[in-house]
Structure 1
């Protein structure tokens, strides 16, 4: 294992004081959770020129000139996401500037395949700069760590995803009238990794299969009013219209955090519509809310919670695989219904487990930062 390059701007920095992190981004719930340990301080996100307050992208921090200008304000650069705005050569110059200023660089690989992109070539080229060039690599699951090791020969620290749920919804979700189970498919704004027609078609076929076998279940398909693919939306609308009363199509503006939590809390299960991807924050929010998830057989979704709450359903569009996954999730002894005392107890239990895990994750990050600043091994 190679040794960490000592900061070129002098001797390793003292680890007895607060560690100041230039994070890309800073203003995100994930980043807030993993940097919540005492003695760790996040620099706020600089606002890009011309952007509205609170927007962090494209990240101003990922610029050699910014790093040099603000070198005295931070001790370490941690890159999470937002790199897609830059060429690989620009990222290489940013990493070099960080080292020139004595900043170690940490990269958390959230995505090995980028959910906001269709063509992955440019993003892979960015990873080819970031992963080998970092002083430490972090990821979320053992499977992702194994892929990182195979592709770049780097050992990644595995730290599970922290919680995303803020407050627990007061009502805990209302069960469907008549006792029907509700399986949700949230297509949001139809970003590039969402295969909306295939996912909708598979869900409707799976629900028809379950209903034919005596399972009282219905589908709830949700779309944002503003979408990126009008043709896909038209196809989803047509599929739902032809499916009859076993499906509700709900179109709405982007939900705020509380409304989103309430919508998810009312589900008996949730289906992920992803054609490609690596990890899912949506899955984490469902877990916090006690909602089991049927996930496609891509990425490492099932490894995020290997406790039976996630079932792999085959590739997106596999109706038979999805029906099997949903039948297992809905029939599991641990399955709970929205609005019940059992669901509420599950949510509270998971909240307590999250608080413990989040403290551990923050402590792992703090220890990593201090080790790097002390000249620890790469």
Structure 2
């Protein structure tokens, strides 16, 4: 698989910087014992990170021998604050935490959670890791932060993280090429793991005979421009006998003082409920089961993103057999098979969205199969175990 890198076997043991030996394959190719590598993942509780581990917690079988990767639990903030995907803010992204806990991990692996981290703090995090000889791995999910209207703050942190990382990972070749062009760094391409739990895989059971097109405006974060997309879809719906445009938004956009307060969009969205092809729903954040039920009830999910890079939402749709119409920005089209339309910060082509809807209507996807996703997850776990092994010997 693309991006897989296996350490060559030498038939001898190597000293682990954290102490102890890392056993390698002997001359017959068998391993004598499993090596444990302790990883401080930021954040460990995010579904992406949780699904980097082998199924059922088994070890990874590498050419160099067996490797067991254990991930530290997320430290819980004093106020217990959480966001979807983890505790907030992630306490590991603090040089003082690293100073106190550097003996508890072998590798530091950053994924998400530094939206509000100042460049000076990230530089201090890198310096503290270097001080204690701890390798840094960074999985670059977002070349452009979907929560920031301006790219500058995110890019400042990327300009620290990408050059400093001992190893880089990214989910698509397009993103790897962008990393190479901008920073002259090679990134290992490892695909996004499954998102839904194994028990949710299986045949689709549509709740309605209608072809339901979902536009989930969420809380209208910075990279979203839902109204032009919704209006185009509503116009196109009249060409079909059974199309419903379902518009979902979070109730917090109606709460004064909330960070996501957006009454103008909320009022405009509610007004669309009078449209004959529209169904407008306002609700709190879905929990996981509610989200899977919602996505499985859609025929297609349209992502109204003006900028972005990759998407866990898209990945969940792939798992459930829900088609995705993704914008042309970013690398969504490389992540999984999907339909695309032209939407960027500078341009929206309504005709391309109408054409994508027609393609999605005629070509219904089938759900992913758990045996295939399980095999892929095992491979993803092996690739991470190999990369962690390599970075400890660099």
Normalised to the residue count of structure 1, the TM-score between the two structures is 0.86
Cα displacement (A) at 1:216: 2.9
Cα displacement (A) at 1:100: 1.4
Structure 2 distance, partners of 1:170, 1:230, is 39
Cα displacement (A) at 1:61: 0.8
Cα displacement (A) at 1:11: 7.7
Cα displacement (A) at 1:52: 4.0
Extract unaligned runs of 5+ from structure 2.
Answer: 1-14, 24-34, 60-67, 254-259
Instruction: Tell me the equivalent position of 2:317.
Output: 286
Structure 2 distance, partners of 1:66, 1:129, is 19
The answer on 1:204 being equivalent to 2:237 is no
Instruction: Tell me the equivalent position of 1:104.
Output: 135
Cα displacement (A) at 1:78: 0.2
Structure 2 distance, partners of 1:72, 1:298, is 42
Structure 2 distance, partners of 1:299, 1:200, is 21
Cα distance 1:373–1:169, how it changes in 2: closer, same or farther (>3 A)?
closer
What does the per-residue CA deviation read over 1:109-159, in whole Å, with 9 as the maximum and x for residues that have no partner?
A: 000011111111000000000001100000000000000000100100001
Cα displacement (A) at 1:66: 1.1
User: Residue 34 of structure 1 aligns to a residue in which SS?
Assistant: coil
Instruction: Tell me the equivalent position of 2:356.
Output: 325
Instruction: Tell me the equivalent position of 1:18.
Output: 36
Cα displacement (A) at 1:53: 7.5
Q: Which has the higher helix share?
A: 1
Cα displacement (A) at 1:350: 2.6
User: Residue 182 of structure 1 aligns to a residue in which SS?
Assistant: strand
Alignment of 1:176-187 (within 5 A): 176=208, 179-187=209-217
The one of 309, 312, 315 equivalent to 2:343 is 315
Instruction: Tell me the equivalent position of 1:296.
Output: 327
Structure 1 distance, partners of 2:224, 2:44, is 26
The one of 165, 168, 177 equivalent to 2:200 is 168
Name the stretch that deviates more: 182-191 or 133-142: 182-191
CA RMSD of aligned residues (A): 2.0
Task: Report if the CA contact (8 A) 1:286-1:292 is conserved.
Answer: yes
Cα displacement (A) at 1:275: 1.3
The answer on 1:42 being equivalent to 2:75 is no
Task: Report if the CA contact (8 A) 1:173-1:267 is conserved.
Answer: no
The one of 243, 263, 277 equivalent to 1:246 is 277
Task: Report if the CA contact (8 A) 2:204-2:321 is conserved.
Answer: no
Alignment of 1:1-378 (within 5 A): 12-13=17-18, 14-16=21-23, 17-36=35-54, 38=59, 39-52=68-81, 56-166=87-197, 167-168=199-200, 172-176=204-208, 179-208=209-238, 210-211=239-240, 215-227=241-253, 228=260, 229-238=262-271, 240-242=272-274, 244-306=275-337, 310-315=338-343, 317-332=348-363, 335=364, 346-347=366-367, 349-375=368-394
Q: Which has the higher strand share?
A: 2
Structure 2 distance, partners of 1:103, 1:282, is 33
Q: Which has the higher contact order (CA 8 A, sep 6+)?
A: 1
User: Residue 70 of structure 1 aligns to a residue in which SS?
Assistant: helix
Instruction: Number of aligned residue pairs: give it.
Output: 343
User: Residue 226 of structure 1 aligns to a residue in which SS?
Assistant: helix
Task: Report if the CA contact (8 A) 1:91-1:129 is conserved.
Answer: yes
Task: Report if the CA contact (8 A) 2:214-2:300 is conserved.
Answer: yes
